[in-house]
Amino acid sequence: MQFLRRSLVGLFLMSLTFGILAVGGNSFYSALQERLNREATERPVRERVLGVSTVRVVPETITPVMTAFGEVQSRRTLDVRASAAGRIVDLSDDFEDGAQVFAGDLLAQIDPTDAEDDTRVARTELLEAEAELRDAERALVLARDEVQAAEAQTQLRSMALTRQRDLLGRGVGTDAAVEDAALAESAAQQAVLARRQAEAQAQSRLDLAGTRLERQKINLANMERRLADTEIRAAFDGAIADVQVDEGGLVAVNEQMATLIDPEALEVSFRLSTAQYARLLDDAGRLIRAPVTATLDVLGLDLVATGRITRVGAAVGEGQTGRLLFARLETFAGFRPGDFVTVRIEEPPLDQLARIPATAVDAAATVLAIGENERLEQVRVEVMRREADDVLIRAPDLADRLLVAERTPLVGEGIRVRPMGTPEGETAETAAAPAMISLTQERRARLIAFVEGNTRMPAQAKERVLTQLQEEEVPTLVVERIEARMGG
């Protein structure tokens, strides 16, 4: 009986399930037929309008700026070399890397003993030569006096011969007396010749003594110069670098001991391409003295030096291209020879140029301008210069028109756009304002300790950075650069 009851309940539930499925299937079929029989309706298609950032073309006179990288170097660099060989017996306290010296300062003393002995010997020989000269002068005076005496005696002998001849003519004298007087006159003339020969020898001795004196003076000057060469002195005001010797060491002639650098006569050398170099030539083909600015990044604080281009390299180095230019720095602080700097060179001003973002120009030198009904038009422009993220263009037909500032694959010619984010309302002061950040006491103390412990940082730059770190808000760029060097 129980089996029959369960069978009937199961049969009822199965019948109910099939009934429900049948009703659901009928409803689905009816809905499908109604959907298929319904008339199709098309919705109107709306044109897509894209929002784009824009920039306005404002023609003006712009001074293009080229950017290059260069190295600071001194215009006066001297190798300090040993003028004499020997042992270094004295070394100045300032003879060390980085020390400041002045012109004429004694830097090093090489053992002068041998040079001093040679100098004393040369002075003694000079005194001997001077004595010999005085003796020769006195001998010449005596020789001349003897010549005068001999000539006077000859005159007396001639007068005696004349008198004997007169006596012989009057019959008072004899031929023998005349002959004796003639022989005496001849002997007196012979004596004059001997005295003149002695005078000539005395004159020759005087000339030789004078020559020897001059030779000894030259020798003494050489010895004094050798003695002076044992003293190494600074040729000009500057700083010592690359010290290679120490007190007590031996040096050879012309051995390099150090390098003397003038830190007040700096210039920067940088290389430009030939095309960039051509922009710095005037109508006559001469290089213009264009102003330059050299920038050195020191922990977020830029050290800036200004100057002007002075010359160009005489030749292109082997394996090099372009031109090597030199600019003399006029105002600088904290720069040292060897610094690697960013150099910005001002070109001659150009008229009717407009500055736009580099993202607004494609590789084909075309831009998208907003035309009628806010549709984009593709316009070709003349790209004059590229400066970092900006481009200088010349397009007289686009004056005071809006361009798409950032081109994407979604925008193109004929597309309707909606200008937005126009940078016209942004002032130069707002754009140039650096991002600021507030520091915690621990973070501020850590940054200050790192800057104070940096020995390679110039004193002026360190003082300026510390002043910035003491402020309530610090430029974010300064903090990021310091922490990057800290490794934090």
Q: What is the pLDDT of residues 232-262, one digit of tens each?
A: 999 899 999 889 888 888 999 999 999 999 9
Return the higher-pLDDT residue of 420 and 38.
420
For the chain, count helices (H), then strands (E).
8, 25
Task: Work out the pLDDT band at 217, boundaries 50, 70, 90.
Answer: very high
Class of domain 350-426: mainly beta
- Residues 76-111+231-260, CATH architecture: Beta Barrel (2.40)
How does DSSP classify residue 276? H
Task: Work out the pLDDT band at 433, boundaries 50, 70, 90.
Answer: low
Q: Report the pLDDT averaged over residues 143-147.
A: 86
Is the confidence at residue 325, as pLDDT, over 90? yes
Helix, strand, or coil (residue 175): helix
pLDDT at 158: 84
Q: Report the pLDDT averaged over residues 395-423.
A: 82
The tokens for 180 are 């004796």
Pairing between strand 50-56 and 417-420?
A: parallel
pLDDT at 150: 85
How does DSSP classify residue 425? G
**% of the chain residues with pLDDT over 90:** 26
Cβ 438 vs Cβ 472: under 8 Å:
yes
pLDDT at 38: 64
Helix, strand, or coil (residue 339): coil
Cβ 368 vs Cβ 376: under 8 Å:
yes
Angle value at C-alpha 363, between 361 and 368, nearest 5 degrees? 35
Domain 114-229 indexed as CATH 1.10.287.620 = yes
pLDDT at 301: 67
Q: Strand 402-404: give its sheet, edge to edge.
A: 376-380, 366-370, 402-404, 50-56, 417-420
Write out the E strands in 289-420: 291-298, 301-312, 323-331, 340-346, 350-357, 366-370, 376-380, 382-387, 390-394, 402-404, 417-420
pLDDT at 428: 36
Residue 389's identity, in one-letter code, is D
The tokens for 363 are 């590789």
Cα–Cα separations (whole angstroms), residue 421 to 52, 362, 387, 406: 7, 21, 23, 11
**% of the chain residues with pLDDT over 70:** 92
**155 phi and psi, to 5 degrees?**
-60, -40
| Residue ranges per structural domain of the chain | 76-111+231-260, 114-229, 265-346, 350-426, 436-486
pLDDT at 429: 40
Euclidean distance between CA atoms 31 and 101, whole angstroms = 104
pLDDT at 411: 84
0.75 exceeded by the pTM? no
Task: Work out the pLDDT band at 43, boundaries 50, 70, 90.
Answer: low
Q: What is the mean pLDDT of the chain?
A: 84
Q: What is the pLDDT of residues 2-33, one digit of tens each?
A: 767 777 777 778 888 888 888 888 887 888 77
Helix, strand, or coil (residue 50): strand
Q: What is the largest CA-CA distance in the chain?
A: 227
> Per mean pLDDT, which of 39-43, 48-52, 351-355 is the most reliable?
351-355
Q: Report the pLDDT averaged over residues 410-433.
A: 62
The Cβ of residue 396 has, within 10 Å, a number of other Cβ atoms equal to 10
Task: Work out the pLDDT band at 1, boundaries 50, 70, 90.
Answer: low
